[in-house]
Amino acid sequence: MAAKDRDRFSTATRLRLLGEQTAARVYRSQNRRQARRSRLTGRAAFLALVVCSLVVALAYPMRQYVSQRDEIADQERLAQEAEARTEELRDEKARLQDDAYIRRLAREHLHYVLPGETGYTVVDPDAAKERSGGSEETDRPWHSNLWDGVDSADRD
């Protein structure tokens, strides 16, 4: 028994016992980690499922929100354009109250002249030929030209 006690207190024996104890602790901690990993994996899967459910549940409302924001922006743009058009029309209304502006419009668009003035109209010969349709239609009776016009309109 004295030899056993001596072995028990020797450095080599102590180192061997410490190594065995350390190996046992490492083994136990690895087993605990593996047990934790399996529990954590289940929790992580549940968490991922919850997150995916939230994403799916919020996807449609978010899409609606974005599309409605776009529609609001479009409506605001249209309102600004309508306001600008309204201002233009108010300006035009104010200009139409002026007699000098009305006279100028009548002279430009209706070719009116004041008493004592001589009005001239210049006709472009090329434009007159295109408008009349050429000389070949003038040689035929009017009813033939009418039916040709109806036929050509029908084909288009």
| pLDDT one-digit tens code per residue, 91-144 | 999 999 999 999 999 988 888 888 999 888 888 888 877 776 555 556 788 888
The mean of the pLDDT values for the chain is 83
Q: How far apart are CA 31 and CA 40, in angstroms?
A: 14
| pLDDT for res 10 | 77
| pLDDT for res 138 | 63
Instruction: Name the residue with higher pLDDT: 39 or 124.
Output: 124
* pTM, to two decimals: 0.41
Residue 38 and residue 30 in contact, taking contact as beta carbons nearer than 8 Å: no
DSSP letter string over 40-107?
Answer: HHHHHHHHHHHHHHHHHHHHHHHHHHHHHHHHHHHHHHHHHHHHHHHHHHHHHHHHHT-HHHHHHHHH
| pLDDT for res 84 | 97
